[in-house]
Chains A and B, each alone.
Chain A
Amino acid sequence: MIKLSGKYILKFLQNHYEFVQDAFNYSKPDFIIDSNILEKLIEEYNISNDPKISVTKLIDVKFCRQLPTKDFKINRSYADFLQFLFDDFTLDLPQTLKERYKTIFELFTALKTEPKASKTIVLIQNIINIIDVFLNDIHRQTQRLLSDTESLKVNADEYSDLSKRLEKAVFWIDEYIEPLNKILEKGHPESFYSALVEIQKYTSEKQYIADSFKLKREYNKLYGSVVYARAELDHNLQKLTRELRPLLDRIKSDSIILSGFYHFVENVDYPENYIVPIPSPIKKTKGSTIFKEFYSEAEFFVDQFNYKTSAVYYEEQVEELEWLPDSTYFKEQLLKEDKVEDFYLWCFDALKKHTDEITLSKYFSLTNLLLEEDLIAEYKTDERITIDLKDASIKIPKVRVYERVSN
């Protein structure tokens, strides 16, 4: 084969459709495939397929070429076509898109000032192409983001890990949706959308007032492309803002809630790790006349005693050993008196010198001296006097006492 024909390429794709799809999938997203993997794919494919395939054949049909690193790079034209064929697009960063559409402004500025008709036609054709490429880019991006987001939403295995899901949603919103929105923003003077509006305004007049029929026809084509592009963009924008953005926001906030709950459940026994205090709605307090704060403080105060066993104090029954007068001492005193006219009164007075608490028992232990053999008692009258002791009042006779004179 000397010259590669389109039909030959199409036949190659048709004959080896499954192989091409495998190679395409392995090469994504940069369309570079490791030489070992490619060789293995060829080997496996050749086991059950005829006609066979080889690296040489792949290079012949310009499917790929080898890089100095020995990796194989899929031809750009194939890569674009295959993305379209398998409805499987790679994502370009919006910065890349932005650079591309900026050339529209430059070309349009040139168009407005170009005096030569032939150059004007070339400029118009270029603008039409760029608009087309850009529309295609936007369409690819939106489709890709939508299908990925759908799979995020239904928790496809790949994204079942919560934090990965969250990370992905945040990344897409920040890196793709937001910048894309800016590029397409209607009110922004530097957006792609306002470039289209400008061109539409300019060409809507030019298609009628241009110098020649050929020029009018070219302006008319550009006008048509721009009107179509605006409608397409509106459609895509709608998908982005009405479907994709809310969906991603939703995935983001749902994953946030789940991961917050996850942290809470894991730390449920360690309130110090909650990070955020748990909501504290009050308990039912109606009917309680006690101020809540007082109640908790009182409870706390009482609580501190709960762990101690209660102490019981018994009142000690002290057996009172009553002091009794020393009868020997008092007998000596009595004998010193030589003669006592009123023995009972003397006893009282003698005790009184030693204590104020003269009880019946103290008093009688002293009056018992009367029974001593060496003392003589004489009753002179029936007269009785009353003596008030601590625990009794007694009536006593007047008795004279003196010492018996020994024989």
Chain B
Amino acid sequence: MREYPIEHNKIVSELLDGKFIISPSPLFYTIQELEDDYTEFFIKSFNYKLNLEAEFIYLSSDEVNEKRTRDFTLFLAILSRELDYSGKNFRDKIELGSFDINETEELLRQSSKWEILEKTTVSEFDKFIKTWRSKNLIEIDGNKFKFTKAVKLFFTFAMEIAEEKLKEKTNEEKANA
């Protein structure tokens, strides 16, 4: 019988809860040390992919078509846009700053893109924030919230889209040249 780390139960239950494990959590380093073992464990037991990024870890599945993840991406995209429009450095603010829950909801409601958000789970903002706290993507402190490092996953997603678009554009230009 193989030996499991002391935190095994916690690691498995947190990840299966759909939570992100974020450095410097001790769980993060245990998984990092046993990366191969855990990768195999999750794929063989549940058919889930273990994603070990520089600062966070999570399970993903191609079979999951989660509308809530789409909603979170929309929320982040529109929040970034509004912060940029108001002359703030959106990335610093999102990665390092904290947000007043009511003010943020107000900021989004005044956005011309609210018509998109109001059709999603973002429309019940308090509930939305709490849902994502349970996944460790957001921390709540009183009437304020902060994003955890896992938010970078969605920035990477946006960068990949933009880079693909740039490639498309370059190819089109080459083709037209």
Listed in ascending order, the chain A residues whose CB lies under 8 Å from chain B are 154-155, 250, 253-254, 256-265, 268, 274-286, 291-293, 296
**B47:A293 contact, CB within 8 angstroms:** yes
* CB-based nearest A residue for B58: A281
Contact with A along B59-74 (1 / 0, CB 8 A): 1111111100110011
Asked if B107 is at the interface of the complex by the 8 Å CB criterion, the answer is no
Q: Could you write out 10 A-B pairs with CB less than 8 Å apart?
A: A154-B87, A254-B89, A254-B91, A257-B91, A262-B77, A263-B165, A280-B69, A282-B48, A291-B46, A292-B46
Asked if B96 is at the interface of the complex by the 8 Å CB criterion, the answer is no
User: Quick one: which of A278, A280, A286 has the most chain B CB within 10 A?
Assistant: A280
**A279:B154 contact, CB within 8 angstroms:** yes
Asked if B17 is at the interface of the complex by the 8 Å CB criterion, the answer is yes
User: B128 to nearest A CB, angstroms?
Assistant: 15
**A279:B61 contact, CB within 8 angstroms:** no
**B16:A257 contact, CB within 8 angstroms:** no
Rounded to whole angstroms, the CA-CA distance of A104 and B63 in the bound complex is 65
Q: In the complex, what residues of B have CB within 8 A of residue A276's CB?
A: 157, 160-161, 164
Asked if B13 is at the interface of the complex by the 8 Å CB criterion, the answer is yes
Q: In the complex, what residues of B have CB within 8 A of residue A260's CB?
A: 157-163, 165
B12-55 with Cβ < 8 A to chain A:
13, 16-18, 20, 46-48
User: B90 to nearest A CB, angstroms?
Assistant: 7
**B80:A261 contact, CB within 8 angstroms:** yes
Interface residues on B, range: 35 or more
Asked if B133 is at the interface of the complex by the 8 Å CB criterion, the answer is no
- Which of these, B48, B113, B162, contacts A263 with CB under 8 Å? B162
Besides A261-B81, A281-B64, A285-B18, 17 more A-B contacts (Cβ < 8 Å) are: A154-B87, A258-B84, A259-B165, A263-B162, A268-B70, A268-B116, A276-B161, A277-B62, A279-B73, A280-B65, A281-B66, A282-B61, A282-B64, A283-B18, A291-B47, A293-B47, A293-B63
Rounded to whole angstroms, the CA-CA distance of A292 and B153 in the bound complex is 24
**A279:B81 contact, CB within 8 angstroms:** no
Q: In the complex, what residues of B have CB within 8 A of residue A293's CB?
A: 47, 63
- Which of these, A257, A281, A292, contacts B20 with CB under 8 Å? A281
A253 and B87 in contact, given A278-B70, A279-B69 (Cβ under 8 angstroms): no
- Which of these, B18, B65, B158, B165, contacts A284 with CB under 8 Å? B18
User: B14 to nearest A CB, angstroms?
Assistant: 9
Rounded to whole angstroms, the CA-CA distance of A282 and B66 in the bound complex is 8
Q: In the complex, what residues of A have CB within 8 A of residue B154's CB?
A: 279
Asked if B122 is at the interface of the complex by the 8 Å CB criterion, the answer is no
* CB-based nearest A residue for B161: A260
Q: In the complex, what residues of A have CB within 8 A of residue B18's CB?
A: 281-285
Q: In the complex, what residues of B have CB within 8 A of residue A282's CB?
A: 16, 18, 48, 58-61, 64
**B70:A292 contact, CB within 8 angstroms:** no
**B87:A283 contact, CB within 8 angstroms:** no
**B17:A264 contact, CB within 8 angstroms:** no
Q: In the complex, what residues of A have CB within 8 A of residue B81's CB?
A: 258, 261-262, 265
Q: In the complex, what residues of B have CB within 8 A of residue A281's CB?
A: 18, 20, 58-60, 64, 66, 69, 135
Listed in ascending order, the chain B residues whose CB lies under 8 Å from chain A are 13, 16-18, 20, 46-48, 58-66, 69-70, 73-74, 76-78, 80-81, 84, 87, 89-91, 113, 116, 135, 153-155, 157-165
**B16:A286 contact, CB within 8 angstroms:** yes
Q: In the complex, what residues of A have CB within 8 A of residue B65's CB?
A: 280
User: B127 to nearest A CB, angstroms?
Assistant: 15
Rounded to whole angstroms, the CA-CA distance of A281 and B161 in the bound complex is 18
Rounded to whole angstroms, the CA-CA distance of A256 and B78 in the bound complex is 15
Q: In the complex, what residues of B have CB within 8 A of residue A284's CB?
A: 16-18
Rounded to whole angstroms, the CA-CA distance of A258 and B155 in the bound complex is 9
Q: In the complex, what residues of A have CB within 8 A of residue B165's CB?
A: 259-260, 263, 275
**A279:B153 contact, CB within 8 angstroms:** yes
* CB-based nearest B residue for A286: B16
**B164:A275 contact, CB within 8 angstroms:** yes
Q: In the complex, what residues of A have CB within 8 A of residue B61's CB?
A: 280, 282, 292
Rounded to whole angstroms, the CA-CA distance of A260 and B76 in the bound complex is 12
**A261:B160 contact, CB within 8 angstroms:** no
Q: Which 6 A-B pairs have the closest CB atoms?
A: A260-B158, A261-B77, A260-B162, A260-B161, A276-B160, A256-B162
Q: In the complex, what residues of B have CB within 8 A of residue A258's CB?
A: 80-81, 84, 90, 158
**A257:B70 contact, CB within 8 angstroms:** no
A264 and B73 in contact, given A254-B90, A285-B18, A286-B16 (Cβ under 8 angstroms): yes
* CB-based nearest B residue for A160: B85
User: B164 to nearest A CB, angstroms?
Assistant: 5
**A280:B161 contact, CB within 8 angstroms:** no
Q: In the complex, what residues of A have CB within 8 A of residue B16's CB?
A: 282, 284-286
**B66:A280 contact, CB within 8 angstroms:** yes
**A283:B64 contact, CB within 8 angstroms:** yes
Q: In the complex, what residues of B have CB within 8 A of residue A278's CB?
A: 69-70, 73, 157
Q: In the complex, what residues of B have CB within 8 A of residue A296's CB?
A: 63
Q: In the complex, what residues of B have CB within 8 A of residue A275's CB?
A: 160-161, 164-165
Rounded to whole angstroms, the CA-CA distance of A154 and B86 in the bound complex is 10
